[in-house]
Amino acid sequence: MSTESIETAMVVGDARACAAFYRDVLGFEVTREVDLPTAMTDGLGLGDGGRLIWVTAPDGSVVKFFDGGGRRYRPPTQDESGYAHHFITLYVRSLRATLERAQTAGAATQTEPVAVPNGNTICFLRDPAGHTLELIERPANPRAAAEGRR
């Protein structure tokens, strides 16, 4: 058996607000929204019903946001060092422009943009629900970047 595709699902406090952030800041498209019955969510410990919203990136990658229908949301945890145990990596055309839009929309910057040896520029931020995102901008000229020129 082979895997045909993968979707990432995240529990959030407000699925509509998260979908709007990914749409307005990161260029995703809201592709589907479903209200879930309690019979489905209660057995998973996710509360009384809830909402599930799918957003799709320009490359076809899908993220789903689930809000637990009245259950009190707790943001993802970090260990005492501040290390997030999961994050989503997003490749962007302009890291600085994306970071600026994200900050304006309420995201918290965890690291400033840093150029790494392979030529990419990366930074980490937290979306409004507290999930860690890694933004990566690839160099316009990868060969020059590999040789230490941008």
What are the residue ranges spanned by the domains of the chain?
A: 7-67, 88-146
Model pTM score: 0.74
Per-position pLDDT tens, the chain of length 150: 565 667 888 888 888 999 999 999 999 999 999 887 777 666 666 667 778 899 999 999 999 988 876 566 666 666 665 555 678 889 999 999 999 999 999 999 989 999 998 899 999 998 888 888 999 999 887 665 556 555
Quick check: 134 and 146 in contact, CB under 8 A? no
CATH classification for the domain delimited by 7-67, as one of 3.40.50.2300, 3.10.180.10, 3.40.109.10, 3.90.550.10: 3.10.180.10
Give me the torsion for CA of 140, 142, 146, 150, rounded to 10°: -10
The token duo for 132 is 């860690």
Q: Is 122 exposed, middle or buried (0-12, 13-18, 19+ CB in 10 A)?
A: middle
CATH superfamily assigned to domain 88-146: 2,3-Dihydroxybiphenyl 1,2-Dioxygenase, domain 1 (3.10.180.10)
Strands (DSSP E) found in 57-107: 62-67, 88-91
